[in-house]
């Protein structure tokens, strides 16, 4: 972790196929933290309460499995992502913008801006695909903290959606998703 040059690094179990509601915090040696809850002293005095042993074991096992399959998964998921984006671009006449396309990024997360269709409308049109709109119409005053980090402006955010490709996602599933998205966009326009 020292090679990353970070003082604090948090992670969530469900982002690596571990248990939901379990996370971890890496703290560089020498960084002092103040507890926010007081009582029984666990986690070196940083947290009160009983440790979630089952959650700790679960996230540890998920981390081991993730590390074991990471190399091959990165290549496979990157290829799936690139194919998916290519299909959307070809069928949407190049009107698609991929945020951070040329930046170093996690291979299975795609943030795209749609042509003239809000992500919320698209989600309602094709509920069989689970993706995350960057901003809900009902919350137009506040940008999601996630969208804030990948770059769309206030104007672009309603047209931006986030798609995640998992380790078990197949090429056929992504081909079908691309076709559903293209059909929905054409219908909504």
- State mean pLDDT over 169-182: 94
Is the Cα torsion angle 130, 134, 139, 144 positive or negative in sign?
positive
pLDDT of residue 72: 82
* Domain spans of the chain, in order of start: 2-51, 71-188
CATH number listed for the domain at residues 71-188: 3.90.1150.10
Pairing of strands 23-27, 97-98: unpaired
What tens digit of pLDDT does each residue of 37-66 get?
Answer: 777 767 777 777 788 899 999 999 999 988
- Distance separating alpha carbons of residues 70 and 72, to the nearest angstrom: 6
Q: What is the pTM of this model?
A: 0.71
pLDDT of residue 181: 92
- Distance separating alpha carbons of residues 158 and 165, to the nearest angstrom: 21
SS (H, E, C) 63-119: HHHHHHHHHHHHHHHHHHHHHHHHHHHHHCCCCCEECCCCCCCCCCEEEEECCCCCH
- Distance separating alpha carbons of residues 174 and 11, to the nearest angstrom: 27
- Work out the percent of the chain whose per-residue pLDDT is above 90: 32
- Distance separating alpha carbons of residues 39 and 177, to the nearest angstrom: 49
- State mean pLDDT over 136-145: 47
| Chain centre distance of CA 28 | 25
pLDDT at 178 over 70: yes
């Amino acid at each position: 972790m020292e090679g990353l040059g970070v003082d604090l690094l948090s992670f969530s179990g469900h982002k690596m196929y571990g248990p939901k509601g379990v996370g971890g915090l890496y703290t560089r040696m020498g960084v002092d933290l103040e507890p926010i809850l007081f009582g029984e002293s666990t986690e070196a005095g940083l947290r009160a309460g009983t440790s979630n042993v089952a959650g700790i074991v679960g996230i540890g096992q998920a981390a081991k499995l993730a590390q074991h399959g990471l190399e091959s998964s990165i290549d496979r998921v990157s290829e799936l992502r690139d194919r998916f984006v290519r299909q959307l671009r070809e069928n949407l006449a190049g009107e698609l913008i991929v945020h951070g396309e040329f930046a170093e990024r996690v291979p299975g997360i795609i943030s795209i801006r749609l042509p003239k269709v809000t992500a919320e409308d698209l989600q309602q049109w094709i509920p069989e695909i689970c993706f995350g709109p960057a901003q809900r119409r009902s919350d137009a005053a506040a940008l999601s903290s996630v969208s804030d980090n990948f770059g769309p402006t206030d104007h672009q955010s309603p047209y931006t959606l986030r798609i995640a490709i998992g380790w078990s996602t197949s090429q056929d599933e992504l081909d079908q998703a691309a076709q559903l998205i293209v059909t929905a966009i054409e219908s909504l326009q």
